[in-house]
Amino acid sequence: MTRAGYHVANESIVIRIKSIPFTAYTDTDGNSISLSYSIRAKGHYEQDWIELDTIEFSDSPYIVKSYEYGGDAAKGLFRYIPINGKVGFQVEARIGYYTDDMTNCRRYFTGETSGWSNTKTITFP
Residue 8 has pLDDT above 60, yes or no: no
Q: Is the pLDDT of residue 79 over 80?
A: no
Q: How many CB atoms lie within 10 A of CB 87?
A: 23
Q: Which CATH class is domain 12-123?
A: mainly beta
What is the CB neighbour count within 10 angstroms for residue 81?
20
Nearest residue to 117 (alpha-carbon basis) of 52, 41, 61, 21: 41
pLDDT digits (tens, 9 = 90+) for 102-125: 888 888 999 999 999 999 999 987
Q: How many angstroms from the chain centroid is the CA of residue 42?
A: 12
Let me know: does 77 contact 50? Beta carbons within 8 Å.
yes
Stated pTM of the model: 0.81
Q: Which of 20, 26, 15, 6 has its CA nearest to residue 93? A: 20
Question: In whole numbers, what is the pLDDT of the chain averaged over residues?
Answer: 87
Distance of CA 119 to the CA centre of its chain: 13
